[in-house]
Amino acid sequence: MIVPEKESVMPAVKPEEFRRRAVALARQGEKPVREIAKDLGISESGLRRWMSEAAVEEGRAEGMTRDERAELVRLRRENRVQAMEIVNRPGFSGGRVVPATTVVGC
């Protein structure tokens, strides 16, 4: 008997307002995080991650904020582009010493 493979489906991205309200519900502590996540149709680990991210954004925990992470991504991209521009310049030797060519017959 052949059993069809289950497709791995990524959950839909939830709106920011949904995330904020879910975090607020979890912080109230009236129900366990697991139960709140189940009621909202999301994973417990996802809700806990949102809670951690919210704590960082609010300055209550160590870590990189969304803005800091976006800046890091932008700067790394700029560095890659600049590195490629240097590598693609005429005469780039990759740090090796290239002997000068001698012109014969002058």
Compute the average pLDDT of residues 36-45: 97
Compute the average pLDDT of residues 85-100: 73
Confidence band, pLDDT 50/70/90 cuts, at residue 3:
low
**Structural domains in the chain (count):** 1
Is 3 among the domain residues? Answer: no
Domain span including residue 76: 16-87
CATH code at position 35: 1.10.10
Examine the pLDDT at 87 and tell me if it is beyond 90: no
Is 9 among the domain residues? Answer: no
Q: Which residues neighbour 49 within 8 Å (Cβ) at sequence distance 6 or greater? A: none
Model confidence pLDDT, tens digit, residues 5-30: 677 788 889 999 999 999 999 999 99
Q: Rounded to whole angstroms, how far apart are CA atoms 31 and 23?
A: 12
Is 30 among the domain residues? Answer: yes
Percent of the chain scoring above 90 in pLDDT: 68
